[in-house]
Structure 1
Amino acid sequence: MQLAERTWPELGEYVAEESVAVVPLGSTEQHGPHLPLATDHLIAEALASEAADRAGFLRTPPVRIGVSEHHRQFHGTMWVDPGAFRDYVESLTRNLTYHGVDRVVYVNAHGGNVQHLREVGRRLRRDRTAYAIEWMWDESIPDLVFDSFAHNGPHGGPKETAMIQHIAPELVREGKLASARDGGVVDLSAAPTQQFGARTYYDSADNSPNGVFGDQTEATAEIGAELFEAATEQLVNLLEWLDGQPFEDLMPKPHVDPQPGSGRSTSR
């Protein structure tokens, strides 16, 4: 059920019965010479839509620009400051709670958003407004992702390439897969990313000349379809689990025992 396609009476009927919403988030940033800048938000939107439809929950419009300044040297990348991103997502979520939603899953497909979505969820839970959690597709099926590729990569690699081959094949520059591999870093451990236990990089351009990692030629639409189905199943399971939890059980505990003034012995 997509919020933007419904009328307000229909949404009133939804929140009279349900309290779960799905919010897709991604980025608009470089994904090498073979994938579109839309890669992350396309994946998030497709997974959120499929899972919401299967489970019967509400899906909001997407957040398509995220925390991506570390890709800024590559043409076309867009980003917002972390604080602005957190405040925007928090405000959007509080808007949902005004209409009767008190559980939100952030369907996220961009690593740069993770810590900020976690912070937003922490804020909302702390004041008991809502329970909002971040979900990232590849982290829900790590074994399948690992087993599918000999040389995976955290950005613009075969896992994301396969997903876009499945979701939007017309946007993949198939003739650029070999050059993406040869112009990037196939094995991340070969990149000069650490010295004596310290991370020495801040930007994607510090690690990869063309901004991507892994062997993109390993990707196929068939693998993408398998990844998509497995991740969707995990997301549906999460939504159904969340829907079944008493709201109070999702909220923070008031204190751990023993509490000061409880009458219990505090001898030292």
Structure 2
Amino acid sequence: MYLADRTWPELGEYVANESLAVVPLGSTEQHGPHLPLATDHLIAEHLAREAADRAEVLCTPTINIGVSPHHRQFHGTMWVDPPAFRDYVESLSRNLSYHGIDRIVFVNAHGGNIVHLREVGRRLRDDGVAYALEWMWNDSIPDLVDDLFEHNGPHGGPKETAMIQHIAPELVHEEEFERARDEGVVDLTEIEMMVHGSRTFYDAIDNTESGVLGDQTDATAEKGEQLFEAAADQLVQLIDWVTDQPLDALLAKPHVDPQPGSGR
């Protein structure tokens, strides 16, 4: 059920019986010469809406801009500062809780959002507002990703390329695959990402001229469909698991006994 397509009485019927919502989040940032800036939020939205339909739960509109300053040198990249992102997502989540939602799955497709979504989830849980957790699509199917691609790459690589070939093929520039590969980094072991135990780079352009990593020529729409179906299935299973848990088992546990101040 997509929230924005429904009337308020229809949503009232939902929250009278259900208490979970999925919130898709991504970014609007460079994904090389072959993929649109919309890559991450397109993947998040399609997975969230597919899983919400299968699990018969509520899906909110997508948050399209995330924490992406590490791609700022490339044309068109948009971002918000981390504190603003965290506060916005937390405010939106508290809005959902006002309407009766106490379990939220952040359907995420951008690595730069992960740590901030986990922090928002902790804030909401510690305050007893809601149980919210971050879900990253490729982290749910790591073995399949490894099986499909010899040189995957964490950004703009064949896994994201294949996903967009499947869900929005008209936005993919296949004639640029070789450029993306040749001006990027195919094998991550070829670049020195750690020096004496320290990560020395801050921005994508420090490592890759084309802005992306991996071998994009290994991507196909058929592989993208495999990834999409497998990830959507994992998301449905997660939704079912969260729905089945008693709320008090999900929220923050009380301090161990003796309770602070109990002897005063």
Q: Match of 2:131, as an amino acid? A: Y
Query: Which residue identity lines up with residue 47 of structure 1 in the other structure?
Result: L
User: How much has 1:189 moved relative to structure 2?
Assistant: 1.8
**Matches of 2:12 and 2:70 in 1, distance apart?**
41
Mapped to 2, the partners of 1:228 and 1:98 lie a distance apart of 32
Task: Answer yes or no: is 1:109 the counterpart of 2:109.
Answer: yes
The equivalent residue for 2:215 is 215
CA distance in structure 1 between the aligned counterparts of 2:258 and 2:85, rounded to whole angstroms? 39
DSSP 3-state at the match of 2:16: helix
Q: 1:25 to 1:256 in 2, by over 3 A?
A: same
How far apart, CA to CA, are the structure 1 residues paired with 2:259 and 2:60?
A: 42
1:11 counterpart residue number: 11
SS at match of 1:253: coil
**Which residue is equivalent to 1:157?**
157
Number of residue-to-residue matches in the alignment:
263
Q: Between the two proteins, what is the percent identity of the paired residues? A: 73
Partner letter of residue 228 of structure 2?
Answer: F
Q: Which amino acid aligns with 1:231?
A: A
Supply the AA of the counterpart residue of 1:166.
H
Q: Following superposition of structure 1 onto structure 2, how do residues 88-237 of structure 1 map, counting pairs within 5 Å?
A: 88-237=88-237
The DSSP-based 3-state class of the residue aligned with 1:104 is strand
Number of the residue aligned with 1:240: 240
Residues 108-161 of structure 1 show CA distances to partners (whole Å, capped at 9, x for unaligned) of 000000000000000000010000000000000000011110101000000000
In the aligned structure 1, how far is the partner of 2:82 from the partner of 2:261?
41
SS at match of 1:121: helix
User: Helix, strand or coil for the counterpart of 2:155?
Assistant: coil
Equivalent-residue separation in structure 2 for 1:30 and 1:135 (angstroms)? 22
Q: Give the whole-Å Cα distance in 1 for the aligned partners of 2:114 and 2:241.
A: 21
**Structure 2 SS opposite 1:17:** coil
Equivalent residue of 1:93, what SS?
A: helix
**Deviation per residue, 1:180-219 (Å, 9 max, x gap):** 1011000112113221111100001111111100000000
3-state SS of paired residue (1:132): strand
Residue 256 of structure 1, CA deviation: 3.0
Query: Partner letter of residue 104 of structure 1?
Result: I
Return 5+ residue gaps in structure 2 as ranges: none
Indicate whether 1:23 and 2:23 are aligned: yes
Give the TM-score normalised by structure 1. 0.96
Tell me by how many angstroms 1:262 deviates: 8.0
- Within the alignment, does 1:52 sit opposite 2:47 as a pair? no
Structure 1 unmatched ranges of 5 or more:
264-268
Q: Deviations over 1:159-187 (max 9, x none)?
A: 00000000000000010011110110001
1:249 paired with 2:262, answer: no
Q: Can you list the C-alpha shifts for 1:8-54, whole angstroms capped at 9, x where unaligned?
A: 00000000010000000000000000000000000000000000000
Question: Aligned equivalents of 1:214 and 1:243: distance in 2?
Answer: 37
Shift of 1:261: 7.8
**Higher mean C-alpha deviation, range 188-197 or range 118-127:** 188-197
Report the Cα offset of residue 259 of structure 1: 5.4
Name the CA shift for 1:30/1:256 in 2 (closer, same or farther; >3 Å): same
TM-score by length of 2: 0.97
Distance 1:162 1:212 in 2: 14
The one-letter amino acid paired with 1:204 is: A
